[in-house]
Structures are given as structure tokens and as C-alpha cells.
Amino acid sequence: DGGITQSPKYLFRKEGQNVTLSCEQNLNHDAMYWYRQDPGQGLRLIYYSQIVNDFQKGDIAEGYSVSREKKESFPLTVTSAQKNPTAFYLCASKQGSGYEQYFGPGTRLTVT
Amino acid sequence: AQKITQTQPGMFVQEKEAVTLDCTYDTSDQSYGLFWYKQPSSGEMIFLIYQGSYDEQNATEGRYSLNFQKARKSANLVISASQLGDSAMYFCAMREDYGGSQGNLIFGKGTKLSVKP
């Protein structure tokens, strides 16, 4: 089955540590996205990538970094510079000519 | 200013009845798209329905329909014959084809729908 996988579902880290969230898709989609969701809020765009080896900052990129070395993978690193990293993180992908974004199941990150 | 406004933080509906979830948007683009997503308690975002700004007819997908009123800049989601499984958060989103968002989705804050048996 084609889809997007995010692992792990729940992630716990100590403050001051970097952590990398995984996102893999086998839909052969060109574009991939990372969103952050806080309780009671909508999704906010962190980073996006339209093609391999290229990515752009979204609305709240500070304290995050990404890479796009392969078409199917778009990992997100939450660095120690991110002041409020505890949140629900969703990855999405889209075919270049399409309009619908397909979402993964999300990773809930808790930093204490 | 908010680009997507969902004014109903929470809604209740009786099972088997219809419900309308409100969404208004703000854009100066002529070409844009409007989306509704459902987010159950598991967290995954499920695409429900899409309306392009040039589509003359309201979009429909099964029990979901989008009441698109372009002049009023509203894109309300109508769910007919509500089911218990419809209980979830619902998000309205917009894609501006030429605006500052560069074709990315802008989400509203969501409406929590609870279906009562």
C-alpha cells in the first residue's frame, strides 16, 4: 500500500537535545511538507520541499532544519534552539500537478 | 489578518441530522483552492473535499458538500446524515496560486464536531 509513514508515533526528549523526526513516502510525490500543530490550533508550515535537494522555509522555520537527499524522505530535525518544541508534527506530500496533500499519521514530541 | 476563519470552536449535531461548518477566507488572488480536512482523535489528517475558485458548481463527495459562495468568500462544509464516526476536528484550508503563500496550504483553527446518539 502506498502512503506516508512517520516514526515514531510518540517521542520524548530532554531539553537541550536535538531530535530528528522521520517522514517517508512511497507515493512518488515530488513535494513534501512539515507542519506543526499545537493544542486547539490549526497546522502551521515549518518547511517544504518541491524537489530533491531543495527546500524552503515555511512560516515557523526557526529552530528547525530539514534535508531532502532522496525523493521519498524528508526528515525534520528539531534543534535545541526551538524554544517550545513540544507539539504534534505532521508530514505531508503532494504530486507536483495535484492539489491534494496526503498526510502521515504524525509524531507527538514531548520535550521536558 | 487571518486568511482562514472558522468561527465555531465546537459544534454538536444529532446523529442522522445535517450540519454546516463555517469557513470564510481572505485572498486577493483570482485563482485559489479551498479544502476541508477531517482530523479524528488519532491525529491523521483526512482529505474530504476540494473546491477550485473557478469551479462553477459546488463540490460534493458522498455525504460531504461544499457550499461555495465566492462573493461572500465563504466555503462552508455540509455533512448530511451525520454518523457517530463523524465526531472529529474539521479544518478548512486555502491554497493561493499566486499569493505570498506560494501555493502552500493555509489552515484555519478548526471546528470540533461532536455527534450525539
- Asked whether the beta carbons of residue B43 and residue A44 sit closer than 8 angstroms, the reply is no
- Asked whether the beta carbons of residue B50 and residue A100 sit closer than 8 angstroms, the reply is yes
Nearest to B109 by CA among A66, A14, A7, A42: A42
Look up residue A73 and give its DSSP letter.
B
- Asked whether the beta carbons of residue A104 and residue B50 sit closer than 8 angstroms, the reply is no
Contact in structure between B28 and B1 (CB atoms under 8 Å):
no
Is residue B73 predicted with pLDDT exceeding 80? Answer: yes
Nearest to B108 by CA among B89, B88, B93, B90: B93
What is the rounded average pLDDT of the residues A63-70?
97
Is residue A97 predicted with pLDDT exceeding 80? Answer: no
Express as a percent the part of chain A with pLDDT over 70: 99
Is residue B48 predicted with pLDDT exceeding 80? Answer: yes
Q: In this structure, how many other beta carbons lie within 10 angstroms of the beta carbon of residue A52?
A: 15
Using CA coordinates, name the residue in chain B closest to A101. Answer: B47
- Asked whether the beta carbons of residue B50 and residue A101 sit closer than 8 angstroms, the reply is no
Is residue B1 predicted with pLDDT exceeding 70? Answer: no
- Asked whether the beta carbons of residue A42 and residue B42 sit closer than 8 angstroms, the reply is no
What confidence category does residue B29 fall into, taking pLDDT thresholds of 50, 70 and 90? Answer: confident
B-chain CB neighbours of A8 within 8 Å are none
The pLDDT value given to residue B101: 60
The C-alpha cell that represents A35 in the structure block: 507542519
Asked if A101 has any chain B CB less than 8 Å from its own CB, the reply is yes
Which B residues 3-32 touch A at CB under 8 Å?
Answer: 4, 9
For B79-101, write each residue's pLDDT tens digit: 999 999 999 999 999 998 776 56
